[in-house]
Amino acid sequence: MSSNARILIAEDDASLVEILKGLLRSLEHRVRSAAEAELVAELLGKGQWDLFFCSTRLWHAALQKQDLIALCRQKQPDTPIIMLSGYAEVSLAGLALDKGAFASLQKPLKTELAMQALKAALESKSRQPLLPLPDFDSESLPVPQPNCCELIGEHPSMMQLYEQIAKAAPTEMSVLLQGESGTGKELVAKAIHEKSKRAKGPFVAINCASLPENLLESELYGHVKGAFTGALRHKDGLFLAAQGGTLFLDEIGSIPMSMQLSLLRALQEREIRPVGALQSVPVDVRIVSASNEDLQERMAKGLLRDDLYYRLNVFPLHLPALRERKSDIRLLTGYFLQGQDKSDKPWRISSPAFEALLRHDWPGNVRELENCLQRACALSEDHCLQLYALPEYLQKAGPEPESAEAPPPIEPDVQLTLRAYMRQCERHFIALVLEHFADNKEEAAKSLGISLATLYRKTQD
């Protein structure tokens, strides 16, 4: 990395400016800083700058009067721009990258990432306005193969589920799947069907909550011509459509009490009576049902027949929520992104983006993750999933960490002299710089503009 570069810093955080100046001057670069947009604009119009550090907050605050990124692109077209972004400014940083910034660094600055960004910017051969680059701290995403019927996961709870599917599938027992919405209950039902002796037969699914009672009965059992107003022809129901195969009844808990007895008879007697028919019809289907509700609670409230529940719940399976198996998020992310993209190039994920995915509790489970990654795939560049590509509610997920950008506020003690109070401030600032340089006193002393001996003395006082 060449030295003697002319670098402009637009930042109104004085402590961050001093740290950045110390770092850049230790590498023999010439540095100028400004905390006001008007002065920054004036400096951009004078001379030639090799690199422009710009505060995302300062840029955004001045946007209506002066777009500093656009001005730099106009006045200094060959000058790369590195954004300095706070924790809550990641979406703005993404916008800045879209407008031509070279890279974005998150505060508090990590020395290694700052050095990499600095080196990449100064040694960049292409001086074109760039679209977002992958974060420097990123890792490859795997492209896992579905374990069975599109199921992805290596968490122990998923391994146990795979074993239970393998045991349940060859039998003729009714299976009850219980788990939150979005956990993949229909995928598990399909897996059971495809591993069963009925695999060559049809797999038919219905959401029992999607139809009113009068239509649900006709949909399940069928009807004869003239059975009700509008029944102009005979219709086979889903039980007959699933003949020789599997019928998946999703949201089984929503079936009204008036229909529960007929469903119980269908399961016990293995025959149904279409609406308006005088005779029953034999059926040969296997029932897999599912619910995201506590069915035992519905029984206790009198909303579900006990005998129907026990007939459905011969082989119960629990599907874990995504928050219970967060170690699978990386596998799922790689799988969904590669499925959206359809190219052979592997995807990468930046550390901030991965941390955001892990922080979120995913109330919508795998379905929510898939939907969020569809958007992220469209917004990401160069096959790297970055934080700005995620929905805003994910970028802000979790408690905001305490900022390390400035020393913690010190309550003035009226008993202290001005000198003693300033000494307290100095100690806080020295501690901040030492933390920034991972307790490397040599680098900290250079950044502070004091000798190593002076730094030792001040830390011992």
In the chain the domains, ranked by start, together with CATH numbers, are: 6-132 (3.40.50.2300), 156-319 (3.40.50.300), 325-395 (1.10.8.60), 418-460 (1.10.10)
Residue-wise pLDDT for 333-391, tens only, equals 888 887 776 677 778 888 788 888 988 999 999 999 999 988 888 887 777 888 888 88
Residue 3's pLDDT band, with cuts at 50, 70 and 90, is low
Burial of residue 305 (CB within 10 Å: 0-12, 13-18, 19+) is middle
Tell me if the pTM is above 0.75: no
Report strand pairing: 281-282 vs 271-272. Answer: antiparallel
**Dihedral in degrees, nearest 10, Cα atoms 262, 267, 271, 274:** 40
Q: Tell me if the bond preceding 108 is cis, omega within 30° of 0.
A: yes
The H or E element that residue 348 is part of is strand 348-350
Burial of residue 4 (CB within 10 Å: 0-12, 13-18, 19+) is exposed
Report strand pairing: 286-291 vs 175-178. Answer: parallel
| Candidate from 35-44, 107-116, 308-317 with smallest mean pLDDT | 107-116
What count of Cα atoms within 13 Å lies in the side-chain half-sphere of residue 412? 5
φ, ψ (nearest 5 deg) of residue 406: -145, 155
On the question of pLDDT at 429 being above 90, the answer is no
Q: What is the DSSP letter of 275?
A: B
On the question of pLDDT at 45 being above 80, the answer is yes
Which tokens is 351 given? Answer: 């550390």
Q: How far apart are CA 250 and CA 292, in angstroms?
A: 9
Neighbours of 330 (CB within 10 A): 19
Dihedral over Cα of 101, 102, 103, 109: its sign? negative
What integer pLDDT is reported at residue 136 of this predicted model?
37
Rounded to 10°, the helix 111-122/14-26 angle is: 60
**Dihedral in degrees, nearest 10, Cα atoms 269, 271, 277, 278:** -40
Q: How far apart are CA 354 and CA 285, in angstroms?
A: 44
On the question of pLDDT at 195 being above 90, the answer is yes
Highest mean pLDDT among 1-5, 95-99, 241-245: 241-245
On the question of pLDDT at 161 being above 90, the answer is yes
| CA nearest to 254, candidates 298, 316, 288 | 298
Q: How far apart are CA 375 and CA 90, in angstroms?
A: 16
